[in-house]
Amino acid sequence: MTGWGPAGRAALAGLALVPAILALWGVSMTMLLTVSLVLLGAAFLFWREMRRMAERVPAAGPVPARGRLHDLLAASEDQRRELEEKTQALERTIGRLEEYKRLIEQQNQALKELAIRDGLTGIYNHRHFQELLDREVALAQRHDRELACLMMDLDHFKKVNDLHGHQFGDFVLKEFVRLVRREIRSSDIFARYGGEEFVLLLPSISREGARRAAEKIRTAVEAHAFRLHEHERRVTVTIGVYHGKPAPGLTDADILRCADRALYQAKARGRNRVFLHLPDPTIGLWEKTVA
């Protein structure tokens, strides 16, 4: 009988010896036959139960267990490789997203600069200057500081465009901005107010300091030869100045109005000059020519 194994075969051999042993003890043939039949029945029942147990257990015993372990290990290795590949793909995606984020931030900054800068000259535009002026006036009022506001206008600029064309006119505007930037502090706020008009805010500066700053700009422009290709022209600038400690209730619009009034007075006196608008508590607002 197959499927018994060594232990099963040894047990059957032991059972076969039982009748012989009984015969030696003088047991009758009837008893021997009965015992033999009983033993054979028991052996059959034992064999059948062993077959059933063998059918319930995998035929190869521990070998399939090692096969399943190998399969599990192989599956785990495949899953590990798949996880590594997905992790690397995720890291690459995160890297691309970070790069896109950096590019978007750069573009947002560029758009922000476009929103606050003059397209031709690169300095602040009128709208943004108004925001900065409002902030600086509030700071000057809070800390009892002086400030100055210079309104500047290029003299007879229409003739520049008419005689030399708008390309040369644009060059003059950009060159004027370059000259002014060379003469002012990093803390000063410079903007194009409109057309050939420019405005300059000088925080924390004395009256004499404001006058000297305005005069430096005027003389630098007067001494400069504006030259582009075959075109060359001398250009001058007229400057109206507001200076003072902004009193409570004085608005940025009031300061611009004072600077513009000083500019008008300077033009009325012949252009190419600086005119200072001084607040006086006894007589209100009055003008004084300083150049």
Q: What is the pLDDT of residues 116-161, one digit of tens each?
A: 999 999 999 999 999 999 999 999 999 999 999 999 999 999 999 9
What would the two tokens of residue 248 be? 């409570």
Q: Which residue in the list 131, 196, 208, 232 is annotated as catalytic? A: 196
pLDDT at 271: 92
| pLDDT of res. 291 | 45
246 contact partners, CB below 8 Å, separation of at least 6: 137, 140, 141, 147, 255
Low-confidence residues of the chain, pLDDT below 50? Answer: 1-4, 7, 22, 27, 57, 59-64, 281-291
For the CA atoms of the chain, what is the radius of gyration? 52
> What CA–CA distance (Å, rounded) separates 231 from 168?
7
82 is known as an active-site residue: no
Q: Write down the pTM of the prediction.
A: 0.64
The token duo for 194 is 């409109």
**Closest C-alpha among 7, 13, 12, 20 to residue 45:** 12
Residue 289 bridge partners (DSSP) = 275
- Packing angle of the helix pair 62-116, 126-143 (nearest 10 deg): 90
